[in-house]
């Protein structure tokens, strides 16, 4: 009975694609805790106070039963105001949120045009949904428009949806949001923008790269809470009617226990800290600048301009060896392989967080330069 799973794992091992869980160790160049909010005393205090005030650990039920805790409602109101959206829905996580959006909103007869590098959760949502889905080359707004035109010319009459990330999780580059928004407007399309890696880091007060567009009728933004906000869950920011529709039609929303009210307290505090203390964002931006300069000086690598820096090696083996060499020197740097990134583009994904300081960054880059010389 268990044999076929063993066999399948053995096959992965033969292809050097077997993954395993390892304990946390080494200086953090791997997490998405960009602002180090997961350990921020102000957020821990807020959670402690809430516990003392009787806020429950678990919601106890789906939102539509008894799980609609006032902390979650307060978070949604504050998040909608903070990001500039008409309404907001707090979900259990970004994966679930993307899956929920793409299974609930687009219908049979609709068209979804998506960037080839969007997150796995969008792919799963599209696969489970009923719309026609077309992939376009990365960050190519003209290609998005060509696909829409061709589909309309071929008789497509449904609603069009465009799905992108604002800052790509494995490349650290930005989407051409102005161009994509213009395409969406020209074709009466919805634009779904996954802000997972931009929330808290970019945009006025950490409001994300799509802030200028939030609040429009044809824009839906996803702000995950498990990355720069240091918590857990995800905030779907959208027109009010769409949030109400999700409450009635999104099965993962309806049939899952609501997120922990204590986590809602933590996210509320994280949003408050973003507004009160822009210095955290500034500190991260300084780390991003100095890393870019030093990487180009020591390794000849171009900066991504963000806290996510890919060092593309190509071969899986080369990326994994490089990662191991850095891990052996005390740096938590991870190699990323297919299917997370396209085959032939295996890489190190360096991520910058406030958990590291300038000296640690320089030491890591020195080690990277030495290891690259040996492995290239
Ligand atoms: C772009 C993007 N969207 C969504 C998710 C899923 O978010 P969560 O971790 O909150 O489930 C991730 C997680 O890595 C991501 O990188």
Q: Are the CB atoms for 234 and 222 separated by under 8 Å? A: yes
pLDDT at 11: 97
DSSP per residue, 158-174: S-EEEEEESB-TTT-PB
pLDDT at 87: 98
CATH class of 41-276: alpha beta
CA distance 309 to 339: 19
CATH 3.90.1150.10 maps onto the chain at 278-375
**pLDDT tens track for 194-233:** 999 999 999 999 999 999 999 999 999 999 999 999 999 9
The proportion of the chain whose per-residue pLDDT surpasses 70, expressed as a percent, equals 99
**pLDDT tens track for 310-350:** 999 999 999 999 999 999 999 999 999 999 999 999 999 99
Of 289, 306, 305, the C-alpha closest to 361 is 289
pLDDT at 68: 98
pLDDT, the chain, mean: 97
Q: Are the CB atoms for 245 and 104 separated by under 8 Å? A: yes
Cβ of 224 below 6 Å from ligand 1? yes
CA distance 205 to 83: 10
CATH no. of 278-375 = 3.90.1150.10
Q: How far is the CA of 247 from the centre of ligand 1 (A)?
A: 21
Cβ of 119 below 6 Å from ligand 1? yes
Q: How confident is the model at residue 376 (pLDDT cuts 50, 70, 90)?
A: low
What lies within 8 Å, CB to CB, of 108 at 6+ separation is 130, 131, 158
CA distance 206 to 203: 5
Of 70, 66, 125, the C-alpha closest to 94 is 125
Q: Among 114, 119, 165, which residue has the most ligand 1 atoms within 8 Å of its CB, making it the best to mutate?
A: 119
pTM assigned to the model: 0.97
pLDDT at 287: 98
Ligand 1, atom 10, residue with closest C-alpha:
94
Cβ of 93 below 6 Å from ligand 1? yes
pLDDT at 374: 83
Q: Among 97, 99, 224, 260, which residue has the most ligand 1 atoms within 8 Å of its CB, making it the best to mutate?
A: 224
Ligand 1, atom 16, residue with closest C-alpha:
169
CATH 3.40.640.10 maps onto the chain at 41-276
**Residue 375: pLDDT over 90:** no
CA distance 306 to 139: 16
Q: Are the CB atoms for 361 and 294 separated by under 8 Å? A: yes
pLDDT at 42: 98
**pLDDT tens track for 39-96:** 999 999 999 999 999 999 999 999 999 999 999 999 999 999 999 999 999 999 999 9
Residue 31 buriedness (CB in 10 A; 0-12 / 13-18 / 19+): middle
Q: How far is the CA of 121 from the centre of ligand 1 (A)?
A: 7
**pLDDT tens track for 166-204:** 999 999 999 999 999 999 999 999 999 999 999 999 999
CA distances from 335 to 195, 240, 287 (A): 23, 41, 21
CA distance 342 to 373: 24
pLDDT at 77: 98
Q: How far is the CA of 233 from the centre of ligand 1 (A)?
A: 10
């Amino acid at each position: 009975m268990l044999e076929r799973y063993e066999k399948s794992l053995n096959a992965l091992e033969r292809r050097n694609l077997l993954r395993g869980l390892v304990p946390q160790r080494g200086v953090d160049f791997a997490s998405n805790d960009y602002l180090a909010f997961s350990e921020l005393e102000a957020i821990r205090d807020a959670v402690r106070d809430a516990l003392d005030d009787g806020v429950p650990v678990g919601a106890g039920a789906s939102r539509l039963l008894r799980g609609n805790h006032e902390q979650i409602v307060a978070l949604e109101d504050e998040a909608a105001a903070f990001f500039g959206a008409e309404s907001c829905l707090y979900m259990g996580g970004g994966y679930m949120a993307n899956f929920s959006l793409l299974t609930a909103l687009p219908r049979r007869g609709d068209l979804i045009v998506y960037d080839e590098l969007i997150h796995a959760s969008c792919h799963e949502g599209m696969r489970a949904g009923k719309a026609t889905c077309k992939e376009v080359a990365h960050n190519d707004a003209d290609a998005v428009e060509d696909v829409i035109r061709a589909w309309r010319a071929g008789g497509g009459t449904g609603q069009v949806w465009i799905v992108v990330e604002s800052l790509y999780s494995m490349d650290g580059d930005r989407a051409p949001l102005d161009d994509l928004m213009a395409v969406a407007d020209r074709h009466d399309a919805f634009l779904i923008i996954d802000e997972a890696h931009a929330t808290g880091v970019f945009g006025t007060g950490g409001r994300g790269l799509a802030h200028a567009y939030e609040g429009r009728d044809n824009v839906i933004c996803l702000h995950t809470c498990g990355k720069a906000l240091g918590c857990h869950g995800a905030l779907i920011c959208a027109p009010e009617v769409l949030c109400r529709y999700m409450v009635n039609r999104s099965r993962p929303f309806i049939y899952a226990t609501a997120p922990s009210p204590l986590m809602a307290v933590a996210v509320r505090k994280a949003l408050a800290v973003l507004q009160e203390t822009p210095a955290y964002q500034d500190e991260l931006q300084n780390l991003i600048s100095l890393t870019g300069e030093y990487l180009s000086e020591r390794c000849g690598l171009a900066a991504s301009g963000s806290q996510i820096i890919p060092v593309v090696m190509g071969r899986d083996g080369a990326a994994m060896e490089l990662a191991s060499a850095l891990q052996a020197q005390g740096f938590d740097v991870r190699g990323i392989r297919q299917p997370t990134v396209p085959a032939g583009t295996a890489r190190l994904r360096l991520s910058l967080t406030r958990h590291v300081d300038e000296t640690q960054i320089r030491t890591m880059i020195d080690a990277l330069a030495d290891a690259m010389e040996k492995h290239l």
